Amino acid sequence: MADVQLIILFTSMALVVIGLYAAIFVDNIIKKIIGISFIEEGANLFIVAIGYKPGGVVPILMPGMDTSWFATNAAYPLPFGLVLTSIVIGASTLAVMLALVMVLYRRYGTLSTKVMLADTSKQEEYNE
């Protein structure tokens, strides 16, 4: 069996790189935001992968468990807690971004970044 952790790490790096690619080269703002949220997910996946332990158990101490067995076999719980927080933050950021896009789409009638988020001095031409 291939090393699960390594595969996850490669996936997370691929997500980050795809996100950075989308941030530069994609013009549609919604697609760009989807791409950018890939970066966030890549970072989260990376942190989850840190806590992985081959053959590990869920880090909850149940009654009757041997503590020393638990200590050697439980997965590292801290990364999961951190990722949970980070996902919530990412979701709220995404919501605010999409809300702003909605307002701007009503004003400009297009989703093109080149028009919607151009230089401030040029925006006066687009927005008559």
Q: Give least dist CB 55 to another protein, A.
A: 19
Question: Exactly one of 58, 65, 78, 87 binds another protein (CB under 8 A); which one?
Answer: 78
Ranges within 3-62 binding another protein (CB under 8 A): 16, 19-20, 23-24, 32-33, 36-37, 39-40, 42-44, 46-47, 50
Burial of 38 (0-12, 13-18, 19+ CB in 10 A): buried
Burial of 7 (0-12, 13-18, 19+ CB in 10 A): exposed
Sign of CA dihedral 101, 107, 111, 112: negative
Question: Exactly one of 85, 87, 111, 125 binds another protein (CB under 8 A); which one?
Answer: 85
Q: Does 93 bind another protein (CB under 8 A)?
A: yes
Q: Does 101 bind another protein (CB under 8 A)?
A: yes
Question: Exactly one of 7, 10, 53, 92 binds another protein (CB under 8 A); which one?
Answer: 92
Helices (H), the chain: 4-25, 29-50, 67-73, 78-108, 113-116, 120-126
User: What are the C-alpha distances in Å from 32 to residues 62, 68, 125?
Assistant: 45, 49, 24
Query: Which residues bind to another protein, rule: CB under 8 A?
Result: 16, 19-20, 23-24, 32-33, 36-37, 39-40, 42-44, 46-47, 50, 76, 78-79, 82, 85-86, 89, 92-93, 96-97, 100-101, 103-104, 107, 113-114, 116-123
